[in-house]
Structure 1
Amino acid sequence: MSRFTSFSRPFNPRRPQPVSELLGRTDEFAALRAGVEQIAALERDLKTMLPDYLATSVEPGFIKDGVLALFAAHNALAARLRHLEPRLLADLQQRGWAVNALKIRVRPQSVKEPTPLKQARMTEVGAAALQALSESLEASPLQEALARMAKRHLRKQG
């Protein structure tokens, strides 16, 4: 008895395969694929129905017993989504979704790490050249800035 269905090809680990092909390989994966496709279609519909500021921060969950779970990025968006709930529910039903109610939940999105501050590095020769340049100039804001920069870079290396 083969563990592959009649519509799938044997697995070849050396050949990259699209996820859609892998999800169609067995009956269990086919059910998962149907769920993934349903969520993707629901997400597309929500993006067209919601205002831009909500569409990017709301994720659909599964539909269970006629209740669709919607996840908002934070409380303020969840509150705004609750105001739109009657219209949104009617629009979803009009598009053919078997939804009787919405359950709006807050699911904070992960905080992106801030970009690290640029840490410029200067060679000892470059820092010495800046120091020499600052000493050759008359007193001015430029001369002071060059002296501080040279001092900072010479201190890092020392």
Structure 2
Amino acid sequence: MGDENLHRYTPRVNAKPPGQKPQPLVPDALALGDALKRSTPLAQLRQRLSDSNARFAAIQPALPSTLAAHVKPGPVDEEGWTLLCANAPVAAKLRQLQPRLEELLRQRGWQVSPIRIKVQSRN
């Protein structure tokens, strides 16, 4: 028997009549929001993202507008919080502002360890 008859024994995957959408491959997939609510690790991740964004919102008024455009909130973990910078000069300026930024966070009720400032690598 040759390869020309191989199609007879190969199951048709996701076959559909013309004009009809194929059935989803995972019919019981959860929406992202539902998955975040049901999964403890994902809920913790969502909480950390929310915490990082809240901290960034608290310090943003203290950042010069030309600098703020090059800074992003980074991860929050047991060790502290990270600010991600576009380049080394932005990181250097942030390090000068770091005591003021940490004080702003303390005033807003966060237990603050030194803010980590990292240059974000470009891929």
TM-score range, shorter chain: 0.5 to 0.7
Task: Tell me the residue number matched to 1:80.
Answer: 93
Specify every segment of 5 or more residues in structure 2 that has no aligned partner in the other structure, as ranges: 1-26
Task: Tell me the residue number matched to 1:40.
Answer: 53
Task: Tell me the residue number matched to 1:62.
Answer: 75
| 1:1-158 map, 5 Å | 12-13=28-29, 17=31, 19-109=32-122
Task: Tell me the residue number matched to 2:12.
Answer: none
Sequence identity percentage: 32
Say if 1:63 and 1:98 are closer, same or farther in 2 by CA, change over 3 A: farther
Q: CA deviation at 1:72?
A: 0.9
Specify every segment of 5 or more residues in structure 1 that has no aligned partner in the other structure, as ranges: 1-10, 111-158
Q: Structure 1, residues 2-58: CA drift from partner, whole Å, max 9, x if none? A: xxxxxxxxx854x8x4x4333112223222221222122223223333221222211
CA RMSD of aligned residues (A): 2.5
How many residues get paired? 97
What is the alpha-carbon distance in structure 2 between the residues aligned to residue 22 and residue 107 of structure 1? Answer: 29
Q: CA deviation at 1:93?
A: 1.1
The aligned amino acid for 1:63 is V
The aligned amino acid for 1:25 is R
Which secondary structure does the structure 1 equivalent of 2:38 belong to?
Answer: coil
What is the alpha-carbon distance in structure 1 between the residues aligned to residue 119 and residue 36 of structure 2? Answer: 30
Q: CA deviation at 1:79?
A: 0.9
Ranked by relative contact order (alpha carbons within 8 Å, sequence separation 6 or more), the top structure is 2
